Chain A
Amino acid sequence: MLELRNLACVRGERRLFAGVSQAIPVGQLVRVRGDNGAGKTSLLRLVAGLSEPAMGQVLWQGSDSRQVREPFQRALVYLGHASGIKDELDAVENLRAACALAGEPVADGAAVDALSAMGLGGRLQLECKVLSAGQRRRVALARLLLTRKPLWLLDEPFNALDPQAVAQLAAAVGRHLEAGGICVYTTHQPVEIAADNAAELTLGARA
């Protein structure tokens, strides 16, 4: 399980949030809410370990995630605004590179299946620079169909997706939660995700 303990975040001279505490048990879906600039992305980056909190800790299975960096990173998928898709590579190459980097190398066949499931079946041989924003997003999200990592941190995963892709992604998140995973995400669109245990975390509620 994941626990946020009294997290504070300072960017430049500005305090984004402070005193964020939340215990997130296995199988829970957490939606991070907040206005633009409230620090939703910063919170996800902080939980992922990309930035250091000004105060507080992120606990993974009871230990400080910065002390158990390697096992924590093995357990974690973080998908940010920038999807890490290379223009010069095709969808399969991109997906396989991303998976290899995450320590979960996949074979060509599995990658092709995942991309087809995301509705990219006919475009596997194209360099990604000719794909649309939504299609590139799907390439990045296809990783979620292949990974076995328990903790998902998704920053605006539904951006640029059409309703059909949104439904596919929501279903994938639902399966992940059923299998005992955790998902922390942000979104501006109201999306129905089937979850037995859903929670919210609101930033910047003081004002």
Chain B
Amino acid sequence: MSAPLQAAAPGKVLAAQAGAGAGGMFLAMLRRDLLLVYRRRADAITVLVFFSIVVSLFPLGVGADPALLRPIGAGVVWVAALLASLLSLQRLFGADYADGTLEQILLSPQPLALTALAKVLAHWIATGIPLALMSPLLGMQFGLAADALWILTVSVLLGTPILSLVGAVGAALTLGLRGGNLLVALLILPLNIPVLILGAGAVDAAQSGLGAQAHLSLLAALLVATLMGSPFAVAAALRISLD
């Protein structure tokens, strides 16, 4: 079972020497998904371009007055991050559903919730982290101060995994449905309102001198709670959708 690898060609990241243990399969799934993201880089980049376009539309819509832009900057970046994350949810299970891989995932002896978590983690690495890294750049367009930019980055970094986790439930529930994309937005956006309030609120609080500690702590607490519950909901939803 653990025969030495043959000379691996470049790009063969999929070297899963792992045993049949759940941890090994978790890593194998994560590696496979990240490799797929890497081979389909254009998709991930599209999400980032979408993110920056949406953010850039706001000054054009409301006017370029810095006094007007500074207070709405964090909110705009956050709403755009919410939409960008939503846009990329289609990728999460869509391709695996279409080509039959999802059936194999359901039949895998590893707990389904764990596989789902691996896929969500890959989704976050591919979208959440880039969004967080880009948000200070976009925040600068709105004249946010340096410390506000820091808080913005941290809040997006803490909030996007929640978006991925909650979004995965919606993506799993709407697999294969007509107009599934639009439906996901309808199901998921209301559930993500607390993330938006806490994330954008953290920056506002920092700007008004209140300190972002409370917001960020609550966001972290929400992340932990979502992390506990969401994988099981995703697993249940996947079983239902493939029935």
Contact = CB atoms under 8 A, between A and B. Distances in A.
The judgment on whether A and B are partners is yes
Interface of A: 45, 48-52, 70, 73-74, 76, 78, 80-86, 88-89, 92-93, 96-98, 100-110, 112, 125, 127
A17 B167 CA distance: 36
B13 to A, nearest CB: 9
Contact of B108 (A88, A92, A96, A101): A101
Contact of B242 (A51, A83, A92): A51
Interface residues of B, number: 40
A103 B109 contact: yes
B67 interface: no
B128 to A, nearest CB: 21
Contacts of A101: 25, 28-29, 101, 104-105, 108, 110
Given A80-B103, A96-B16, A107 B5 contact: yes
Interface in B14-30: 14-20, 24-25, 28-29
B39 interface: yes
Given A85-B99, A100-B32, A101-B104, 14 more contacts: A45-B103, A50-B242, A70-B109, A82-B100, A82-B103, A83-B100, A86-B95, A88-B36, A93-B12, A97-B16, A100-B24, A101-B101, A103-B108, A107-B4
The 8 closest A-B pairs by CB, nearest first: A82-B100, A88-B39, A107-B3, A100-B28, A84-B100, A84-B101, A103-B20, A103-B109
Contacts of B105: 101
A101 B111 CA distance: 11
For the residues of B in contact with A, the DSSP-based class is loop
Interface of B: 1-6, 8-9, 12, 14-20, 24-25, 28-29, 32, 35-36, 39-40, 95, 98-101, 103-110, 242-243
A89 B40 CA distance: 11
Contacts of A102: 104, 107-109
A188 B226 CA distance: 48
